[in-house]
Amino acid sequence: MPSRVWKNKADKTERKEWACKTNIPYKNSEAILKISIHWFRNDLRLTDNPALIQAAEAGIVLPVFIWDAECAAELGPGGASRWWLHHSLVQLNDSLGGALNIYCGNPQDVLATLAKEHAVDQVCWNHSYEPQSPQRDEAVAEEMRSSGRDVQTFNGSLLWDPEEVLKADGTPYKVFTPFYKRGCLNAMPPRKPQKAQRVRYQKASDSLSVDDLGLLPKIAWDAEFSNHWKPGEAGALQALRHFLAEGIGDYKDGRNFPAKKKTSRLSPHLHWGEISVNQVWYAAREFLPSEQVDVFCSELGWREFSACLLFHFPNLPSENLNRQFDAFPWEHNEAWLLAWQKGQTGIPLVDAGMRELWRTGFMHNRVRMVAASFLVKNLLIHWHHGADWFRDTLVDADLANNSASWQWVAGCGADAAPYFRIFNPVTQGKKFDPAGEYIRTNVPELGNLPNKYLFSPWEAPEAVLGEAGVELGKTYPKPIVDLKESRQHALAAYAMLKARDTSSEPC
């Protein structure tokens, strides 16, 4: 897409030429060509970007990205997500012909200064629905309006606006099915994606470079990431095309098998808005008939559901949605947490997942559920610790999805898995990784074990272990907990919670 950097005072011929191409009458171009800031946040794309389109239609665009280190320190992007952001910004800057204006600091201050320096007429951005956003954005808007500038904001990241998806009584949905069926599908269809258009960008002289933001990790644990991911808008479109060609046809069943790569792997792209969810939704629905894409679309629905929950319950990252769980007897054990994080629990499917995460910044969804269930239910470690680790290590770390999903697994969330639904990593492995491919890829030291014992090496006869070159406790850990015993323990903890709850009820 054509884009060009214009100096502050573009010469007349250039301006005339451009006015010609865009059908804006040259005579009026001076008056019509307003200067707008487009504030990039979680919408790092040029296509189907409502706020950017608004800015572009008005005239010259000053594209801005601001890294607010103070804000980021709290529940902002973790290590893997920062890696992604770094590369995504590099891509975005390239597609803007180098015109991305990068700053560090408090957005309100940065934008106020920029607006003054560049005599900005209008400021545009797409909403973020994360908890700190609405208030901060409103303050920015207020300041801009009071200095006589237009402020235009849009929903650029969700199919349905969380403010509008409410039950008849005006309260937010807490159960997925009615949320999706009645709240979403029954409402107006999502906005159709808009094409990218010609934009004239302006580069400020005091912009930082992407490197200046220091987003890349100091220790090179991201070594393998670039083998698996291509951040940026082009990478996002490529991932979408690949999913349509290879994954979506068999999505319903295929998505459950971690060794098959049938899931879309669009989550990090969607998180940073390198592609809009509207583009994905319509691309899928135009590609195959409804009944073949409904399962995938409902996964996008879960993304909407999580965003909506976080929007209406801003404490979702820290507090149990179901407050009964506040009394749950978590048993913190630092050594177990470390073993889980490093993929050294001695439970092959769990370790495979945790190592895939560490190595590639991603874990297949099926395995996420198993690994998370193991932490929360077999180890009885508080879901906060799991959420913290995922937030730091997943390239698709997303406050809404992460918080909602951990609460779902722990049983305290909206429409949650009942607490007694405890995944057995051995059964799950046999069912969803029957050939053991996924485990062998990620836990190579078990590679020579026969399938019969691959999912539970502690049950293998000594001779079989010896044959496979496995020595439990040396080359691979013994299980840190007994699956059956820890399951019983978890159920007992839950029973206690329930007893406590009912005993205090009748008053």
Element (H, E) at 403: helix 399-410
**422 forms part of the interface with DNA (CB under 7 A):** yes
Give the x-and-dash track for 198-237 against DNA (CB under 7 A).
----------------------------------------
221 catalytic per annotation? no
Among 192, 198, 478, 484, binds DNA (CB under 7 A): 484
**483 forms part of the interface with DNA (CB under 7 A):** yes
Distance, CA of 344 to chain centre = 26
> How long a stretch of residues is the chain?
507
Residue type, 24: I
Check 18, 83, 383, 408 and give the catalytic one: 383
Nearest CB to DNA, comparing residues 110 and 158: 158
Per CB under 7 A, which region of 10-18, 121-129, 419-427, 461-469 contacts DNA? 419-427
Among 427, 441, 448, 451, binds DNA (CB under 7 A): 427
Q: How far apart are CA 267 and CA 277, in angstroms?
A: 10
Nearest CB to DNA, comparing residues 132 and 322: 322
Q: Look up tokens 């849009």; give the residue.
A: 154
Per CB under 7 A, which region of 108-116, 324-332, 425-433, 467-475 contacts DNA? 425-433
Q: Is the dihedral of CA 223, 226, 228, 231 positive or negative?
A: positive
Residues numbered 176 to 205 that lie near DNA (CB under 7 A) are: 176
Backbone angle region of 119, left / alpha / beta, with phi > 0 → left and psi within -120 to 50 → alpha: left
Residues numbered 338 to 377 that lie near DNA (CB under 7 A) are: 365, 369
281 catalytic per annotation? no
Give the x-and-dash track for 250-289 against DNA (CB under 7 A).
------x---------------------------------
Least Cα distance to 159 among 129, 132, 139, 138 occurs for 129
Residues numbered 286 to 325 that lie near DNA (CB under 7 A) are: 299, 302
Q: Are 35 and 124 in contact (CB under 8 A)?
A: no
Per CB under 7 A, which region of 74-82, 230-238, 380-388, 418-426 contacts DNA? 418-426
Kindly calculate the radius of gyration of the chain based on its CA atoms and give it in whole angstroms: 25
Per CB under 7 A, which region of 160-168, 215-223, 446-454, 487-495 contacts DNA? 487-495
365 catalytic per annotation? yes
Q: How far apart are CA 396 and CA 361, in angstroms?
A: 8
Q: How far apart are CA 275 and CA 55, in angstroms?
A: 19
Least Cα distance to 283 among 304, 302, 300, 261 occurs for 300
**491 forms part of the interface with DNA (CB under 7 A):** yes
Check 106, 221, 256, 330 and give the catalytic one: 330
Q: How many other C-beta atoms can be found within 10 angstroms of the C-beta atom of residue 48?
A: 22
Extract the tokens encoding 53: 């389109």
Q: How far apart are CA 379 and CA 439, in angstroms?
A: 21
Nearest CB to DNA, comparing residues 192 and 484: 484
In angstroms, give the least distance from the CB of 487 to DNA.
6
Contacts for 46 with CB less than 8 Å, ≥ 6 apart: 1, 3, 52, 95, 96, 196, 199, 233
Per CB under 7 A, which region of 63-71, 117-125, 412-420, 446-454 contacts DNA? 412-420
Distance, CA of 357 to chain centre = 14
Interface with DNA (CB under 7 A), residue total: 21
330 catalytic per annotation? yes
Among 145, 181, 241, 431, binds DNA (CB under 7 A): 431
Give the x-and-dash track for 82-111 against DNA (CB under 7 A).
------------------------------
Nearest CB to DNA, comparing residues 416 and 449: 416
**421 forms part of the interface with DNA (CB under 7 A):** yes
Q: How far apart are CA 446 and CA 477, in angstroms?
A: 11
383 catalytic per annotation? yes
Terminal-residue alpha carbon distance, the chain: 67
In angstroms, give the least distance from the CB of 424 to DNA.
4
In angstroms, give the least distance from the CB of 101 to DNA.
40
Least Cα distance to 272 among 316, 230, 311, 243 occurs for 230
Name the DSSP letter for residue 173. Answer: P
Nearest CB to DNA, comparing residues 201 and 406: 406
Q: How many other C-beta atoms can be found within 10 angstroms of the C-beta atom of residue 426?
A: 17
Contacts for 77 with CB less than 8 Å, ≥ 6 apart: 84, 85, 397
| Residue ranges binding DNA (CB under 7 A) | 176, 256, 299, 302, 365, 369, 417-418, 420-424, 427-428, 431, 483-484, 487, 491, 495
Residues with catalytic roles: 299, 302, 330, 365, 383, 406
